[in-house]
Amino acid sequence: MSWLKQLSSSWQKTQLQCPELASMFEPPTAGQWVAIDCEMTGLNPRKHHLLSVAAIHVNGNTINTGNGLHLVCRPPVMPDRDTIVIHGLRTADVEHGISYDEMLALLLPFINNRPIVGFCPQIDTSFLNPLVKRYMGTSLPNKVIDVRQLYSRRMGDRTQGIPNQSQHLTNILAHYNIPELGTHDAYNDAVMTAMAFLHVR
């Protein structure tokens, strides 16, 4: 970790309002990651809302699917018909979901200090970080790894100019003969992201 990152992490830790989460700021253990995927009512964190979060530990070359999290949240605004066809979560599915604070009380200790692995994880963290900051006083301190960027580096010039097609998760899965589990389900997407990560890391 560079001195700049250390300084940033130290500053973030001073803003922490939940002492029980101080271990999130410790250096991560080599060979341990957490794959994350979120489902939202849209892609704009200013007007859309988080619906569900899934997280799965990756230890070495093993994906610990038997000990993952799949949390359905109750958003402040119920999903409408136009977005239900994308994420598949109806009002009936989320109206009895847990609160965002209850979700974070489970998710953050599960993430702990592991680097976060995702497919375009910047979108997921743009929804999570405002909630996390309100909950514990600071945003997620974890390193974030984008499977799409890893794949692009591995493929070199072959993906240049056509990122939307060649770097789509389904194309990456097909490239490595990884079976599709059904997209737009947070848990399935987290598992597939983890599998893709093991091939491209």
pLDDT, tens digit (0-9, with 9 covering 90-100), for 8-25: 667 788 889 999 999 999
User: Rounded to whole angstroms, how far apart are CA atoms 16 and 53?
Assistant: 22
Q: What is the mean pLDDT of residues 114-140?
A: 96
Residue located via tokens 């794949």? 151
* This model's pTM is above 0.85: yes
- Going from N- to C-terminal start, the domains of the chain cover 31-200
Cα distances (angstroms) measured from residue 87 to each of 79, 91, 107: 9, 12, 20
**Residues 6 or more apart in contact with residue 149 via CB below 8 angstroms:** none
78 confidence band (pLDDT: 50, 70, 90):
confident
CATH number of 31-200: 3.30.420.10
User: Rounded to whole angstroms, how far apart are CA atoms 104 and 106?
Assistant: 5
Kindly tell me if the per-residue pLDDT of 116 is higher than 90. Answer: yes
Closest C-alpha among 54, 25, 62, 55 to residue 143: 25
